[in-house]
Structure formats: structure tokens, C-alpha cells
Amino acid sequence: MSRLARFASIVSVLFFALVVVFFVLENQQGATLSFLGWSTVELPVSVFTLLALLVGMIVGPALGVVLGRKRIRQKA
């Protein structure tokens, strides 16, 4: 990896981390979620949003892997 590419990736990661920190600091008001009679404790809005982001980052690729394997099996 060239020095320029490494520098660009480090700057990108730091920028993303800075955006996340600003988002968390700006969204400190409390909220509770209710779903099918179950409700959560009061947490900052940023916690719920970041949890949804992380779940999506895990579930999305996992579904892609599962569906990709299914397609490979159908072609074979």
C-alpha cells in the first residue's frame, strides 16, 4: 500500500470517528423504545441509532453471504 493510500485511509477513518463523536455529543436527549409490549430503559437517542447502524453492518453482509452461497449452489 502506498504512503498516499495509507494516509488517505487513516484520514478517512479519523474523519468518520470524528463525525460519530459529534453525532453522539449532539444527540444526548433521552428516549425509550417500545415494541410489542417490550420497552427499553431511557437511553440517549445516539445509542439507539448507533446500535441500529452496527446491527445493519452485521446483518447486511451476513445476508449477502447466505444469499451468495444459495446462488452458488443453484448454479452448480
Confidence band, pLDDT 50/70/90 cuts, at residue 1: low
**Residue where the block lists cell 441509532:** 49
The larger pLDDT score, comparing residue 71 to residue 13, is at 13
pLDDT in tens, 6-61: 999 999 999 988 998 898 888 889 999 898 988 989 989 988 888 898 999 999 99
Higher pLDDT, 29 or 73: 29
- The CA angle 62-54-7, to the nearest 5 degrees, is 100
Give helix 45-75 / helix 3-26 axis angle, nearest 10°.
Answer: 130
pLDDT of residue 76: 60
| pTM greater than 0.85 (yes/no) | no
